[in-house]
Every structure is written in C-alpha cells, then in structure tokens.
Amino acid sequence: MRERAIWVNEGQLHHHTVFDMEYGKRIVLAVLAMTTLGQAHPVWSAASARDRAPPAPESARENGGFLELGLTAQIERHALAHKNPDDNGDGDFSLGVMVSAGYQHDRYFVEATDSWFGGLNLGVNLLQTPELSVDLLLANIAGHISIESDEPPAPVTEQERNDAILDRDSLFIAAGTRITAYRGDSLLQLRLLSDWYDDNGLQASARLGHRWQVGNWNFQGIVGARYYSSTFNNYLYGVTDAEASQRFPSHTTGHAWIPEVELGASYPLSRDWVYTSRLRFKQLPASVTDSPLVTDDQEIFLTTGIHYVF
C-alpha cells in the first residue's frame, strides 16, 4: 500500500495534493517545507525585511543560519499529462504554509533556493572571494519519490499501467560543481551535475541574473538554460517497452536544452514581515514535447505570499 509521495521540486519539499483550477471551489491547503540558506552573494540571498541594503560580500562565509515562515498562494501549469486526459493543460491552484531554514558551518552548507535553478543542496565551499564562488555540491536533490509500506502489485489493466507511468519516481541525487561570478548587482552561474543515486545521467545549467532596487522594492530577473543528457531526459520523459500502454507508447529521446526565465519582487512590510512574488517560465524543446507523457511545450509557475523572518 502506498503511504505517501514526497516531492523535492527545486528546493521545495512538497507533501500535498493539488486540484484543478477548473474546480475553483476545491482549494487545497498545502504544507510546503523548504530549507534555504542565504549563503550566496548578499544581493541574491533570501530577501529579509531587516536587510534591505546588502553589505559588500566578504571573502569567507559566516557560520549560522535563519528561520522563515510564510503563507503562499500558487498557480502552476505543468506540461506533463494528467491521469484524466480531460485535465491536460489545466492549471493547479493551491494555498500553502512554507517553512524556510538553513545553516552552514565553516565551509560546509545546506541550502535550498526557491528557484527552478537551485534545488536542495548539500556541499562545501572551495573558494569564496567578493567576485567568485566555487562550490562542490555533494548532493543536489530534486524530483519525487514514493514511499511504499510494501511492494505494490504489478499493473495489469490499461488504467493501472497509465497510472504507474505517471506515478513513477523521478528522484535525482547528483554531485558536481557550481561556479558563480559576481559583478555589482549581477551574477553569472554555471553548474554541472552527475546523478549518483541511480546513474541517471548528467544535468547542467547556466544562468544570468540582475537585481534592481526601486525605493523599498527589490526586483530580480534571471534568464538561463538547462541541459539534460539523453540518459536523464529519458529518465524523465522516456517510456520503456515494459512500461508502455496504449495511451503512452514506447518512446526514446535524446538530449535537451531548456530555456528558463524567472522574475521576482519583494517588499518589506515591517521589520520582520516581507511580501514576495515570483513568476517562472520554461520553454520545452521538441526532444521533450515529442514524449507521450508531455502535453504542452510551456510550463508556468506563479507564487505570492507574505513571510516572517526570525
């Protein structure tokens, strides 16, 4: 019997069910737990009402951590197929409670940035200067895994086979290198990761970001691209002969380059309270959209909420 499914979606741990926006009265309460470490350059650390003017970066990070609680509302439109084909392309709306925390000691850190570019990370800093940071990521965690109390029976019917494909695990635990260069209110970041959880291939990314301060408003913009090796792309979007059904025929794909954009804004409501909003957009290439598991070539995520910083 299946106990629960846990999602690590680029830094956020999810344990909830989301209903379709088509049914506006069915609003789900979601509990989201996210560990976040503002170990990056101060310009790009978690927005805090206490720290509106970031200090100049230091050559070494300081030990410590923080705790942040938030109430959020989010709208998501994923490209993956729904169990009910009539729901494909519809958005999902949810309300959530977010717990954000992080800690580092000496050069060791744990972090999870609330971004499609980040993820839940455990690592060690190899080099830190005002202009350059080099990190060794021992574990970058994303995707979801289902926790079973016992071995589920093999799918038999067409519907069971379809459900099994859509419910399959996508956990990705990788190690690699992250290099971040800073210049004023801008940054350039490069990452290269290799999965060591189940040898599911390579993932790389490049992003360019800038921050603007307008009065008490803080605006951020990030553009980037993500690379999936053919092994990793098939892990997410391929269908093996053993999994195939009439709705989801066997499919093999190649590597993928996926452009992404993120826009964010934050505003301090008081010393400890801050309002944040973030919009994310992902354009999927043909090597992804050709999969029978994918029903759209775009993904959009919009979240807004208020946060208390301890």
The tens digit of pLDDT for each residue in 53-85 reads 333 344 456 788 877 888 999 999 888 888 888
Per CATH, the number for 2-309 is 2.40.230
This prediction's pTM: 0.76
| 10 has a pLDDT exceeding 80 | no
Neighbours of 232 (CB within 10 A): 22
Band of residue 28 on the pLDDT scale cut at 50, 70, 90: very low
Report strand pairing: 28-35 vs 92-105. parallel
Helix (H, G, I), strand (E, B) or coil at 85: helix
pLDDT class of 288 with cuts at 50, 70, 90: very high
Kindly state the average pLDDT of the residues 4-28.
36
DSSP state of 84: S
pLDDT confidence band for 143 (50 / 70 / 90):
confident
Higher-scoring residue by pLDDT: 117, 36: 117
Query: What pLDDT is stored for residue 187 in this prediction?
Result: 96
Confidence bin at 120 (pLDDT 50/70/90) = confident
Number of C-beta neighbours around residue 285 at 10 A: 17
Say yes or no to pLDDT of 264 above 60. Answer: yes
**pLDDT, position 255:** 96
Q: φ, ψ for residue 293 (rounded to 5)?
A: -80, -10
Q: Which residues pair with 93 in a beta bridge?
A: 19, 75
What pLDDT sits at residue 231?
Answer: 95
pLDDT score for 25: 28
pLDDT of 146 reads 67
CA atoms within 13 A on the CB side of 130: 8
pLDDT of 48 higher than 80: no
| Cα 56 to Cα 39: distance, rounded to the nearest angstrom | 13
Q: Among 39-43, 116-120, 125-129, 191-195, name the one with the lowest average pLDDT.
A: 39-43
Q: What are the angstrom distances between the C-alpha of 265 and each of 73, 88, 209, 279?
A: 15, 30, 13, 9
Reported confidence tier of residue 299, pLDDT bands at 50, 70, 90: very high
Assign 36 a pLDDT band (cuts: 50, 70, 90). very low
Check residues 292 and 7 and name the one with the higher pLDDT.
292
Tokens of 19: 């209903």
Upper half-sphere CA count for residue 136 (Cβ side, 13 Å): 7
pLDDT at 208: 97
Dig out the tokens for 237 from the structure: 């979007």
Q: Which among 161, 116, 159 has a CA at the least distance from the CA of 140?
A: 116
- Residue 35 confidence (pLDDT) above 80: no
pLDDT at 118 (0 to 100): 56
Question: Nearest 5°: phi and psi at 246?
Answer: -65, -40
pLDDT at residue 276 in the model: 94
Q: Confirm if 309 and 68 have CB atoms less than 8 A apart.
A: yes
**CA–CA separation, 194 vs 251, rounded Å?**
23
Domain boundaries along the sequence of the chain: 2-309
Number of H helices, E strands in the chain: 3, 16
Which residue is listed with tokens 């927005």? 47
